[in-house]
Amino acid sequence: MPNNGKVKPGYKRTLDLKHGCVEMVHGNGGRSMAQLIQQMFVAAFDNEFLRLMNDQACFPVFGGRMVMSTDSHVVTPLFFPGGDIGSLSIHGTINDIVMSGAKPCYLAASFILEEGFPLADLKRIVDSMAQATKAARVPIVTGDTKVVEKNSGDGVFITTTGIGMVPEGIYISCENARPGDKILVSGTLGDHGIAIMAWRENLSFQTNIESDTAPLHDLVAKMISTTSNIHVLRDPTRGGVASALNEIAQQSSVGMMLYENKLPILEQVQAACEFLGFDPLYIANEGKLIAICAAEDAENLLNAMQAHPLGNNAAIIGEVIEDTHCFVQMQTRFGGKRVVDWLNGEQLPRIC
């Protein structure tokens, strides 16, 4: 949080967390900004690195392979069934790191606040982030705050960036899928996107569907301890499983065959998708992963995933095949075949 600094002695004004709003002065680099940072961010995220209040965090690392990932979060609404932009911003970046097989170590968080945004809502979001970082044991060590005028933003945008270290011997990457490999997912598909959509559309079924937002590092640690032979991990967020698999097929120069009757989809999600005209394969997930591994490891890996709370509904949903066109296809419930193409056109804006 550049230009932060501690509040001066004798300067004890406290933020009005009940009725106050974000003001342009909160971004000016002076006393009001220092106050916002101390009383809002440092109070919630406190740790030995952040506490030093430099414009950067400094920490020890061991040599090896490091991963870095960044994600801006612009989800609307900011609060939704099962989560909010705060927890989502922590889980999203942790998951991107974890999909390389790495252990997440440190996070940075940068806020773009709109003038007039209620401090009470910001506090709720920040507390949710703090809780998510604590639960995941990954601290926010540095950050930044900017304020833009009313109507130049939309409440709060949060960009989180994380770094992590890859354990020795692990080489997981989206270009490693090989014909014959099995394709697994860790649970039901489309929960996050449909939870958001139901909320936006104020649909009566909304109460039943919650976002699946969750950090996947413990599940992945368990999977890696089961087999060191996972070829690909990927969290199917924006664009859903269909887009993620098309990208992997492309990156690995392979085709894929899915089995429609193996796809784990909640009944309410399926119903909502039919009602709204969506295909659950294209709907965003925020606490699910795709794993691709050698056929001989698939059952073992599946069992390990199902034994973890975040992998209860894991399933083998298809296999990697040879295909110079890199098509993702699906055997339908009725015995036919169809191509599962890239997402084309707009589906669910601002889902994450």
Binding to a second copy in span 295-324, by CB under 8 A: none
Residues 69-108 binding a second copy (CB under 8 A) are: 69-74, 96-97, 99-100, 102, 106, 108
Stretch that binds a second copy, among 68-76, 124-132, 219-227, 266-274 (CB under 8 A): 68-76
Residue 264: Cβ within 10 Å count: 18
Distance of alpha carbon 73 from alpha carbon 161, whole angstroms: 11
Q: What is the Cα 258 distance to its own chain's centre? A: 24
Residues 202-231 binding a second copy (CB under 8 A) are: none
133 is a contact residue toward a second copy (CB under 8 A): no
Stretch that binds a second copy, among 129-137, 141-149, 199-207, 254-262 (CB under 8 A): 141-149
**What is the amino acid identity at position 200?**
R
37 is a contact residue toward a second copy (CB under 8 A): no
Asked if 122 and 40 count as a contact pair (C-beta separation under 8 A), the reply is yes
Q: What is the Cα 259 distance to its own chain's centre? A: 26
Residues 172-201 binding a second copy (CB under 8 A) are: 173-175
255 is a contact residue toward a second copy (CB under 8 A): no
* Total site size for a second copy, rule CB under 8 A: 99
Q: Which of 153, 187, 190, 280 binds a second copy (CB under 8 A)?
A: 153
Q: What is the Cα 145 distance to its own chain's centre? A: 21
Q: Which of 81, 82, 139, 143 binds a second copy (CB under 8 A)?
A: 143
Three-class secondary structure of residue 247 per DSSP: helix
Residue 66: Cβ within 10 Å count: 15
Q: Which of 239, 264, 280, 311 binds a second copy (CB under 8 A)?
A: 239
Task: Give the residue with the Cβ less far from a second copy, 51 or 137.
Answer: 51
Considering the complex, what minimum distance in angstroms separates the CB of residue 326 from a second copy?
Answer: 7
Considering the complex, what minimum distance in angstroms separates the CB of residue 334 from a second copy?
Answer: 26
Distance of alpha carbon 245 from alpha carbon 230, whole angstroms: 16
∠ CA 90-91-92, rounded to 5°? 95
Q: Which of 161, 158, 116, 121 lies closest to 25 in space, CA to CA? A: 116
Considering the complex, what minimum distance in angstroms separates the CB of residue 151 from a second copy?
Answer: 6
Q: What is the Cα 158 distance to its own chain's centre? A: 12
Task: Give the residue with the Cβ less far from a second copy, 153 or 190.
Answer: 153
Residues 105-124 binding a second copy (CB under 8 A) are: 106, 108-112
Kindly write down the DSSP assignment for every residue of 75-101, as one continuous string: -SSSEETTEEHHHHHHHHHHHHHHTTT
14 is a contact residue toward a second copy (CB under 8 A): no
339 is a contact residue toward a second copy (CB under 8 A): no
